[in-house]
Amino acid sequence: MPLAAWMATEIWHEFGEAAPVTMIPVGGGRLEVYADGEVLFDRKAEGGTYPEMKRVREIKEEIKKRLG
């Protein structure tokens, strides 16, 4: 499974449709994750690598905060 799809599965498995998240695969292998219009992850800005599990957990924690 491509890493972007895995990341999407991780987020939507935990939060379902309640997740205020938009994932945008951008040309050239970029990946951006937004919640409520704010960037939570930008692959290019974070060195061009996909996030490790620790970073995915941080992103999920930020989403959880936004859901209140």
- Give the architecture-level CATH label for domain 3-67: 3-Layer(aba) Sandwich (3.40)
For the segment 10-48, what is each residue's pLDDT rounded down to a tens digit? 888 888 887 888 877 777 778 888 888 899 999 889 998
CA distance 60 to 67: 11
CA distance 30 to 37: 17
Domain ranges, ordered by start, for the chain: 3-67
For the segment 46-67, what is each residue's pLDDT rounded down to a tens digit? 998 888 889 999 999 998 998 8
Work out the angle between the directed axes of helices 53-67 and 3-15 (0-180°, nearest 10): 30
E strand map for 10-61: 21-26, 30-35, 38-42
What's residue 50's pLDDT?
Answer: 84
